Structure 1
C-alpha cells in the first residue's frame, strides 16, 4: 500500500492507495469512532462496491443513503434529503459519514458532514480517477447552484482518503478521460517532469496498467497534499489548482451541469489558459501544442462549445471565486511546470480566444 499524509497539524489525515483496498475486511474500523457509519453513494456505484465497503466497516452499525447519479444532483435538494435521513436515523456527532463515489458524492457528502450538527467525521472513498487525484483530497466540499458551480460549500477535511485503483476497471472510458484532465493539470502547473512522464505513458494509462495508475495517482495526490499543506483555504498558492476551471466552470454552468463532464470542460479551459499565456508572451506555440497533443491523446476537447462566445462566458466568470474587487483573475501557465494567478488577461484577449 502507498501512503501519503496531508499535513494540516491536528487536521492531518492519510491517503491510502492500493489495488483491492476495499476488499480488506475491517479496513475502515479504526476510522469510525462511534457505533454508526452512514455510507452516501449513488445508484451506479452502489451495486458495484457498497457491499465491500459495508464489510470493511466490520462490526459497526452501517446505514446507507443512495442518491441519483449525475452532476445535476450535487444540489441543495439532495443536501436536504441527506440531512433529513440523518435526522431520521438519530445520527449523532460521533457518526462517521463515508462518501463512496465520484466527485459529486464526495463534495455533497463532505458538505453534509461539515454542517450536520456543526461537523461530523467523514471518509472519502473516491471511485473515479478525477475524484482520486483531485476532489477527494484537500477538504473542498460544495453543492452547485444554477448560477454557479461550487458556490455553496465549506473547507472541511476528511479523516481518511481511501483509494482503490481497482474501481477504475468499472469506470466508463469517457469518465476516465475526464479524470485525466485533472492529472494533466498537475504537470502543467507544478511539475514539468511529471508532464513529460504522462506523455510517455499514455498507452499504459489507457490500458489501466496497475503500476502506471498507482504511480500517477500517488504523484497527483502528493502534489495536492503539498499545495494544501501550504495554503489550506486557497488564500494564495492553492488557487493554481484551478487551472482551466474559470473557463471550464462557465462551460458547465452554461451548457447545463452534466452535459459537459467537469474534466472535459477543464480540458478545454486549460487550452484557453495556454492561449492566454501565449498572448502574454509566457508560453510559446510549441508548449501550447504539447498541451493540446496530450489532452487530445485522451480524446478530450481542446475547444469550448461552438455556441459559446465571450458574452456567454463572462456572466459566469464574474461569479468565479477568484474575482477580487470586481477584477477577473485567471490561473495562467508561465511555462510547462509553473502557473500563476493574474489579472493581466484583458477582455480583448478573451474576445480573441473565445470569439465575440
Structure 2
C-alpha cells in the first residue's frame, strides 16, 4: 500500500455538540492567515512554548496573531517531560496574573505534548476556564496528545495524575514543523500512530507496516495520511466517550506498562512514545497469555515497533516496583490493575490479570540491564 496524495490541508472534526472543534492538518499552516481566523476574540493572547521550539516558531506565530490580538504575551518553559510539573504550571498562571489577563484571554500551546498538556491545564483552571488553541509541533502531539482535551501535569508518584478534561478551540497541526523534529522524537510519535491499528483499524495497521520507511524519511504524503487517519480514529472515540468512562480507555493500549517505565526511571529518561512502544509489546504478550491473541501477534508488534526505532525490551526494575507503579493508574478499579488488551485484531478491551502473570510478561521482555 502507498499513501494517497494529501490535500494541501485537511480538516478532522471533533464532534462534541457546542464544544465542537476542528483539527487542521497540512503544510504551511502556521503562516496561513486562514488558520487563525474565527478563533475566540480577546485583547490578549498568551503563547506558551519551550526553549527548544521558541527559536524556531515563536516569532512566526506572533506575526500571525498580531492582527487578531492587541497584546501578545509569551511564556517560555524549559523543555522536557521532567518539567511537566507544578513549577511549570505555576509559571503560566503567575504570568497570567502578572499581566492581569481576563477570562477572555486566549492561550496558545506551541510545542509538543508537555506544552500542550500544561497550557491546556492552565487554561482549564485560570478563572475557571479560558479558551486555548493547540499548535502541536511534534508527531506525537499531532496524532494524539493535542486531540481530545486531556490536560495534566505529572506527579512523582504517577504520570498525568493531576489534570482536567478541557477541550481546545482548535488544533493546528502544521506538518512542516516535523522537519525540525529530532529522529528520536519522530520515532516516539510513531508509537501513538501504531497503536491505532491493533485497537481499531486493521487496514491502517497494514498501511503503517507498508509505509513506515516513508514516514521515517518524513515523506509529506505519508505523514499527512498517518496524522489524518490517527486523528480520525481518535475523533471517533472521543466523540463517543469524551471523559474516558469506557471506550476511550482503549486509546491507552501499551500505556499502563509505558507509564510505569517513565515514572520508574524518572521522567525524561525514556520519551513517552518509547515507553508506549515497549508497553505495546508487553500488552501484546499479555493478550497472548490471556488466550486472546496468537503468539504471532506479539512477534508482529515487536517487529513493527523495532522497525520504528523504538525499544522492545523493558528496563530492569524489581517486579514489586512495576506493580506498585501500575497500581497508580487511572484505569484501575478497586485496587485491581486493568490493562488494555487486544481481544481480536482491531478490537481492544479492558482486562485484569493476576500479578504472577504480569510478572511473567515483564520477565519475558526485560533486558539484562536498564536502558
> How does the TM-score come out when normalised to structure 2?
0.94
Matched with 2:351 is 342
| 2:104 maps to which of 94, 105, 109 | 94
Matched with 1:23 is 31
Deviation for aligned residue 1:27? 3.3
Measured in 2, the distance between the counterparts of 1:26 and 1:349 equals: 53
| Alignment check: 8 A CA contact 1:26 1:58 kept | no
Q: C-alpha offsets along residues 120-172 of structure 1, whole Å, 9 cap, x if unaligned?
A: 00000000000000000000000001011000000000000000001000000
Measured in 2, the distance between the counterparts of 1:27 and 1:249 equals: 34
Deviation for aligned residue 1:320? 0.4
1:59-138 equivalences in 2 (<5 Å): 59=67, 60=69, 61-138=71-148
| Alignment check: 8 A CA contact 1:108 1:141 kept | yes
Q: C-alpha offsets along residues 86-115 of structure 1, whole Å, 9 cap, x if unaligned?
A: 001111111000000000000000000000
Partner SS for 1:232:
coil
Measured in 2, the distance between the counterparts of 1:27 and 1:20 equals: 10
1:241-256 equivalences in 2 (<5 Å): 241-256=251-266
Instruction: Say whether residues 1:320 and 2:333 are aligned partners.
Output: no
| Alignment check: 8 A CA contact 2:109 2:136 kept | yes
| Alignment check: 8 A CA contact 1:41 1:105 kept | yes
Measured in 2, the distance between the counterparts of 1:166 and 1:78 equals: 27
Instruction: Say whether residues 1:333 and 2:349 are aligned partners.
Output: no
Matched with 1:35 is 43
| Alignment check: 8 A CA contact 1:75 1:143 kept | yes
Deviation for aligned residue 1:267? 0.7
Structure 1 consecutive aligned stretches of length 4 or more whose deviation exceeds 3 Å: none
Measured in 2, the distance between the counterparts of 1:70 and 1:51 equals: 21
1:3-18 equivalences in 2 (<5 Å): 3-18=11-26
1:137-286 equivalences in 2 (<5 Å): 137-286=147-296
Deviation for aligned residue 1:309? 3.3
Measured in 2, the distance between the counterparts of 1:285 and 1:326 equals: 29
Measured in 2, the distance between the counterparts of 1:248 and 1:124 equals: 24
| Alignment check: 8 A CA contact 1:29 1:56 kept | no
| Alignment check: 8 A CA contact 2:66 2:72 kept | no
Partner SS for 1:31:
coil
Please tell me the root mean square deviation across aligned C-alpha atoms, in Å: 1.1
Measured in 2, the distance between the counterparts of 1:104 and 1:250 equals: 18
Partner SS for 1:186:
helix
Partner SS for 1:21:
coil
- Return 5+ residue gaps in structure 2 as ranges: 1-8, 365-371
| Alignment check: 8 A CA contact 2:286 2:361 kept | yes
Partner SS for 1:355:
helix
Partner SS for 1:142:
strand
| Alignment check: 8 A CA contact 1:309 1:354 kept | no
| 1:310 maps to which of 319, 335, 342 | 319
| 1:44 maps to which of 27, 52, 57 | 52
Partner SS for 2:75:
strand
| Alignment check: 8 A CA contact 1:282 1:335 kept | yes
